[in-house]
Amino acid sequence: MEERVQISLLLDFYGNLLTEKQRDIMDLYYNDDLSLAEISNITNTSRQAIHDITKRCHKLLFQYEEKLFLLEKYLQRKKIIGRLNENIDMLINNTIDEDKKEILNKIKRDIEYI
């Protein structure tokens, strides 16, 4: 996985464990793809401070992942959900019974919320 995507996902999972300022700066840097100089201007913070914050938060996010594995678990779950959907679609396409089809569609909707 590309590092930018990885950091963006880690921010989704652990962003709330950062301070609001840290989260905002990481968001501008990794999600909005702004340069350190641009973030420095927007936030009225020195370029060096922005650099230090992104570096520190980068490390923090990976430390959280080493402890809680939320990204790893999410990726495993995503894989399983893909397989589940394939199998359910196969059953839906091979079922004539409308009641059974309805139950299979219910199952599919529930899986979306897992």
Does 84 sit near a copy of itself (CB under 8 A)? yes
Residue 50 in contact with residue 40, Cβ under 8 Å?
Answer: yes
- Among positions 16, 20, 33, 93, the unique one binding a copy of itself when judged by CB under 8 A: 16
Q: How far apart are CA 16 and CA 9, in angstroms?
A: 12
Q: How far apart are CA 106 and CA 86, in angstroms?
A: 15
Would you call 14 exposed, middle or buried from its count of C-beta atoms within 10 A (0-12, 13-18, 19+)? buried
Does 111 sit near a copy of itself (CB under 8 A)? yes
- Among positions 17, 19, 59, 74, the unique one binding a copy of itself when judged by CB under 8 A: 17
Q: What is the Cα gyration radius of the chain?
A: 21
- Among positions 83, 93, 96, 98, the unique one binding a copy of itself when judged by CB under 8 A: 83
Using CB under 8 A, which of the segments 23-31, 33-41, 48-56, 86-94 binds a copy of itself?
86-94
- Among positions 24, 67, 71, 92, the unique one binding a copy of itself when judged by CB under 8 A: 67
